[in-house]
Structure 1
Amino acid sequence: MRVEPIEIDEWESVLPDAGFEVFHAPAALEVLGEHVDGDLRLFAGYKGDQPVGLMPVVVAERLFSTLVFSPPPGMSVSRLGPVLMPQSPKRRKQEKVNRRFTEAVLEEIESDSPLELFRMICNTTYADPRPFRWQDFDLGTQFTYQLDLAGRDPESVRKDFSKSLRRDVRDAEDLDVTVERGDRNDARAIYEQTRARYEEQGRNYPLSWAYVSDLVASLLETGRARIYVARDASGQFLTGITVLYSNDAAYFWQGGTRTVHDGVGLNSLLHWRIIEDIIDDPPRESVTTYDLMGANTERLCQYKSKFGAELVPYYVVESGGRTMALAKKTYQALVR
């Protein structure tokens, strides 16, 4: 097994057709690299000339130590971590590749200075994080809701909604409100509305408009973003959602701020229009899943569970006994 750093062009050439998330896409990684506080490094594992795994990390060098994140905190990237290429159907060979790739990546990362803090939130297709545990890292499990829309029609999907969610969509459809796809100006309106909501709650919104603008522009250009907006009868912006796309899934990324118009909430109608488009007019035919992004906050789960989506686990890998208390405090400061 040979692991080496690669450039974005090579990353694009070896990225598989499926099994990765939107922030693994070159168009997203390039923007991350420009805005993140650290050094974006892309690693590829090869068995001979055949690529077997990919791993993007952000490395923050500190005095005599190294902090490594995948994804970087404070950038609204929910999951990243390794991507393993389709391999032999035999379990033994799959596990061997995974184990050797993990060992080689960690060795490459630690080659410059001691690894003080490592934190990785894996994508949902990375199903075997045990090699990290065998390297003395801690493992945790988190969850998201994913709605499988493959081979389904809108009516059957809507029937699986909870009764209250169907009512919310129906009530919003009766309003003099339109939902349409917008542009970067609408993405700015969604950003400002989201930031204002954070401020109302006494929280700091971590994303700059420069970062969001660059990311949305890059992903719009490559067919990996859509902006959905709700407007009143006069065309005035009411609310919206920015959706990002991998080859497999659509991701609820930004927006969805609770908005009531004429006594009726609009978020459910926005989600419904997104779902309809995934079924009838996706940005690429391989997109068949809507990821509602996160099932780890009880208050939000009470709403997201109404869509009839599947609860899907993903893994968090974090340095354990090898981590100094100062490094933990550094990470907590970064994510606030």
Structure 2
Amino acid sequence: MELILDKDIWDGFVEASPNGTLFHRWDFLQIVQKYTGYKLYPYGIYQKGELISVIPFFLRIHNGLKMMISPPPLPMANVPYLGFAMSPAFHELPPHEKIVAWDRIVREMHRGLKPSPNYVCIGQTSDISDTRPFEWQHYEVDQQYTYVLDLNKPLKEIWDGFDRDCRKNINECKTHPLSFREVNDVDRFNETMKEHLTRDGPTFYHRRDPAYLAELLRTFPANIKLYFFYNGDEIVGVKINLGYKKNYMSWMGNVSVRKGLSTNEYFYWELIKKAREDGYKRHENYGSYNPRLNLFKSKFNPALEPCFYVQKKDLLFSTMWRSYNAVAGFAKAIRVK
């Protein structure tokens, strides 16, 4: 395992990787480093001179303890997962060869991390579901979930799968002069999110300078889209969606600005149709643990797809973590899964 300092090599690998995401792209990682202050370590793992995996880590030092995390905590960058992006050749291996290679990759990662961390945390894409090599290295495993909608299905089949009340709400919205527009007003977006998430604060929107989102929009104009939803001339919703390769993600926003009108369901449906028209095959509405949000996301009949966070603490980190005073300090610095 060694650091990769060549953007073209890194992005070429991510683009070819079946589970490489926009979050793995070089410029995205550099922007995260710039605004979080966490130091980026873009590692590649080679076998017989061939690059077979990349994994970006971010270093956070707090009270002298070194934490290597991939991705940073959600309130810092709002990146739901990173972890390993694997080569096409790896994904095509037969089961026996794949588990042997995967075990070697995890062991090499664990051995090769520099500086040697007190804590490691990896949030992996749902494509990588085999956690056994991490367990063999005594990592703790936390299973989480994301919602996925298959956009290959006929549009009528997708519609018929929606909850009955959801379809009713969407049809009622059609009697209003609703529309959506792509905009770049990240300041208005951020203020709207902070205003409607006050009871959930401090959230990502309270912590992060809107310039972070503005730079992402400038850097990836074909992939990241900010939408304002209107009822006539009145803004009734805001949303940021992300598309890369075959995948389309409901990423940020989705707050209801105006009560009494089910605009969230209506615009969710409109953007699903747009994603299909744009050629995307998979729609992800990540996260399923918040009960209030879960009720909304499950209306659209998505599949529940598991994904995994793994973490490992050394003795020093575990000892300090058990200290009440240390916990109070760490809680401000990093969310540990």
Q: Indicate whether the TM-score tops 0.5.
A: yes
User: Which whole-Å deviations, capped at 9, do the CAs of 1:280-323 have from their partners, x for residues lacking one?
Assistant: 1x2xx4x3111111111222211111111000000110115644
Q: CA deviation at 1:201?
A: 4.7
Aligned partner letter, 1:302: L
* Alignment-derived partner of residue 189 in structure 2: 190
Q: Does 1:96 align with 2:100?
A: yes
Residue among 300, 306, 320 paired with 1:307: 300
* Alignment-derived partner of residue 256 in structure 1: 254
| Aligned-CA RMSD value | 2.1
The answer on whether the counterparts of 1:172 and 1:269 sit within 8 Å (CA) in structure 2 is yes
The answer on whether the counterparts of 2:146 and 2:287 sit within 8 Å (CA) in structure 1 is yes
Residue among 322, 326, 329 paired with 2:320: 326
* Alignment-derived partner of residue 219 in structure 1: 220
Aligned partner letter, 1:193: T
Q: CA 1:27 to 1:277, structure 2 compared with 1: closer, same or farther past 3 Å?
A: farther
Q: CA deviation at 1:82?
A: 0.9
CA distance, structure 1, for counterparts of residue 163 and residue 225 of structure 2: 26
CA distance, structure 2, for counterparts of residue 131 and residue 22 of structure 1: 26
Residue among 240, 256, 264 paired with 1:242: 240
Higher deviation after alignment, 82-91 or 41-50 = 82-91
Aligned partner letter, 1:61: I
Q: Does 1:11 align with 2:14?
A: no
Residue among 120, 123, 130 paired with 2:122: 120
Q: CA 1:183 to 1:217, structure 2 compared with 1: closer, same or farther past 3 Å?
A: same
Give the secondary structure class of the aligned counterpart of 1:256.
strand
Q: CA deviation at 1:325?
A: 4.1
Q: CA deviation at 1:335?
A: 4.5
The answer on whether the counterparts of 2:236 and 2:256 sit within 8 Å (CA) in structure 1 is no
Q: Which runs of 5+ in 1 are unaligned?
A: none
* Alignment-derived partner of residue 130 in structure 1: 132
User: Which whole-Å deviations, capped at 9, do the CAs of 1:182-236 have from their partners, x for residues lacking one?
Assistant: 1212x4322221111222555452222121211222121xx21122221132x34
Q: TM-score, structure 2 length as denominator?
A: 0.88
Whose relative contact order is higher, 1 or 2, with alpha carbons under 8 Å and at least 6 apart? Answer: 1
User: Which whole-Å deviations, capped at 9, do the CAs of 1:109-130 have from their partners, x for residues lacking one?
Assistant: 1x434x2111121111111122
Give the secondary structure class of the aligned counterpart of 1:81.
coil
Aligned partner letter, 1:11: W
Identity of aligned residues (%): 18
Q: CA deviation at 1:25?
A: 2.2
* Alignment-derived partner of residue 27 in structure 1: 27
* Alignment-derived partner of residue 47 in structure 2: 47
The answer on whether the counterparts of 2:17 and 2:86 sit within 8 Å (CA) in structure 1 is no
The answer on whether the counterparts of 1:191 and 1:254 sit within 8 Å (CA) in structure 2 is no
Higher deviation after alignment, 298-307 or 57-66 = 57-66
The answer on whether the counterparts of 1:39 and 1:60 sit within 8 Å (CA) in structure 2 is yes
CA distance, structure 2, for counterparts of residue 32 and residue 270 of structure 1: 29
Q: Which runs of 5+ in 2 are unaligned?
A: none
The answer on whether the counterparts of 1:75 and 1:206 sit within 8 Å (CA) in structure 2 is no
Q: CA 1:298 to 1:200, structure 2 compared with 1: closer, same or farther past 3 Å?
A: closer
